[in-house]
Chains A and B, each alone.
Chain A
Amino acid sequence: MKAKLLSLVCTSSLLAMSVAQAADIDVKITNLTQGIYFTPILVGAHNSDAHLFQTGQTASDGLQAMAEGGSIDALSATLDSINANTLANPAAGLLAPASSAMGSLTTTQDNTTLSIVAMMLPTNDGFVGLDGWEIPTEAGTYHIYLNAYDAGTEANNELVVDGSGAPGTPGIPASPGMAPGTQGSGLTTTESNMMVHIHRGNVGDDEAVGGKSDLHNTVHRWLNPVAKVTVTVK
């Protein structure tokens, strides 16, 4: 089922080779939400056949680990294995609501497309993502707005549970910034769409103890877009 790993296919077509150009780029990521944190962000420039995720496809194991627990180790290793240029964890930890992180990349060879992922906290398996954006060859500053995705790998029960960042363990591993509610009964036990899709948002409730959700309905919601990316091609 989880066989849709990052595509390792590297076409050696003449077209791909003709655009092999190194570029220096700055990448700035702004968390546009009011109450959602981003876990360590992974930025990668890679060949145009590779994807960290694709809507309508099942998540890879690495994507699941990132979306459920915030670990970018597996996805970083996959990027390394295809000679991608990566910028890992530019925020040096969590990126708080309405704040920015920045870093630089030098792209090599055929690494002409840019992808970005980071888990959104507190969610079960929500992440902010950019899938294969073509890096312009012309110098300039470019803006991209990102949506919130659901990896489709875990039911959105909205219960904060220690240790639930491990893939397959239901629950939200942490609620930074604001103590979560407790003893929620759980919103749901199933996930209807098991492919990567647009996140339907957190629901939350207004009960500190009990209710269905451990999240707060006046704090932990968002609407797309959830991030702004500014790419400067030098």
Chain B
Amino acid sequence: MNKFTPIIPLACLLLAACGSDNDSNTIVTPVPPTPDPAPMQYEFKVTAINLTNAQPLSPLGAALHTSGQFWQIGEMASLELEQLAEGGDNSGLLGLPVVNSSASSEGAVGPGQMIELMLTTTSLMDQKLSLVSMMVNTNDGFTGLNSIDVSQMSVGDYAKMTTRAYDSGTEANSEQSGSMPGPADGGEGFNALRDDVDKVAMHPGVVSNDDGLSTSVLTSAHKFDNPLMAVTITRVK
């Protein structure tokens, strides 16, 4: 278990800022060229369990990136996030220029099901791991991990965490027939129209017909509470 936050001592920064006035003469001996070693391979294993009762999770997308965030609370969702949150399509987010390694499960992850993904990269520096998936029996609900620093993990280290439910804010939570792509409805996925608050926030949960939303096609079975997934990230190589 092992996320270290590197703290750079102030002294170091001052030292670096000083520059060098070293004037000693050094004889540099040319080093014979060595053959390029095979690039170092780093590998992470991600396992995730769907902890909901009846919310299949769209194909789980995992990505390594050194900068950027897939979403931020209070900010507008990107088009790529909207495509994931409304339609379960992770290809936009995984295809972002900042992503240097990605993997996606072939199909949706059903309730109670566990999925495993592998991510490989040739550099560890500044690597962050993100995970995204849509709760498909919602209008625009998604879950995942946003920029978890894995650059300090050693081989064999693992980190266990859980994920929460978010709302992309790009589609009203009508729960109406034809508005959700999951099996409870079989309705529309992505639609470019933004008819909600247009800010990412925590998901308020689904209401369902059983709970008094008379126009909802969802039942009490589709309700959920946090957390949504149990995730283990292991550096295997």
Residues in chain B within 8 A of chain A (CB atoms): 49-54, 111-114, 208, 210-211, 219-228, 230
Rounded to whole angstroms, the CA-CA distance of A201 and B52 in the bound complex is 11
- Chain B positions within 8 Å of A148 at CB level: 225
CB contact between A203 and one of B51, B223, B227, B228 (< 8 Å): that residue: B223
Closest Cβ of chain A to B143, distance in Å, is 12
Q: A56-B114, A148-B225, A224-B225 are known contacts. Are A187 and B220 too (CB-CB below 8 A)? A: yes
Rounded to whole angstroms, the CA-CA distance of A56 and B52 in the bound complex is 10
What string of 1s and 0s marks CB contacts (under 8 Å) between A186-211 and chain B?
A: 01101111110111110100000000
Since A188-B219, A197-B53 are in contact, a sample of 8 more A-B pairs with Cβ atoms closer than 8 Å, ordered by chain A residue number, is A190-B221, A191-B53, A192-B111, A193-B53, A195-B111, A197-B51, A198-B228, A203-B208
A sample of 10 cross-chain residue pairs with beta-carbon separation below 8 angstroms, ordered by A number, consists of: A56-B49, A56-B230, A147-B225, A192-B54, A192-B221, A193-B50, A193-B54, A195-B111, A197-B52, A200-B222
Q: A147-B227, A200-B220, A224-B227 are known contacts. Are A195 and B52 too (CB-CB below 8 A)? A: no
Closest Cβ of chain B to A173, distance in Å, is 20
Does residue A223 face the partner (Cβ distance < 8 Å to B)? yes
Judge whether A201 and B230 touch: CB under 8 Å: no
- Chain A positions within 8 Å of B50 at CB level: 56, 193, 197
* Closest residue on chain B to residue A194 by CB atoms: B112
Judge whether B223 and A193 touch: CB under 8 Å: no
Judge whether A152 and B112 touch: CB under 8 Å: yes
CB contact between A201 and one of B51, B112, B225, B227 (< 8 Å): that residue: B225
- Chain B positions within 8 Å of A56 at CB level: 49-51, 112-114, 230
Rounded to whole angstroms, the CA-CA distance of A147 and B52 in the bound complex is 13
- Chain B positions within 8 Å of A223 at CB level: 225-226
Interface pairs A-B: 5 shortest CB-CB: A195-B112, A193-B111, A192-B54, A56-B49, A200-B223
The residue in B112, B222, B228, B230 that gathers the most chain A C-beta atoms within 10 A of its C-beta is: B112
Judge whether B53 and A217 touch: CB under 8 Å: no
Does residue A150 face the partner (Cβ distance < 8 Å to B)? yes
What string of 1s and 0s marks CB contacts (under 8 Å) between A98-130 and chain B?
A: 000000000000000000000000000000000
- Chain A positions within 8 Å of B211 at CB level: 203, 217
CB contact between A197 and one of B112, B208, B219, B223 (< 8 Å): that residue: B112
CB contact between A188 and one of B49, B221, B230 (< 8 Å): that residue: B221
- Chain A positions within 8 Å of B219 at CB level: 188
Closest Cβ of chain A to B61, distance in Å, is 20
Does residue A156 face the partner (Cβ distance < 8 Å to B)? yes
- Chain B positions within 8 Å of A191 at CB level: 53
- Chain A positions within 8 Å of B230 at CB level: 55-56
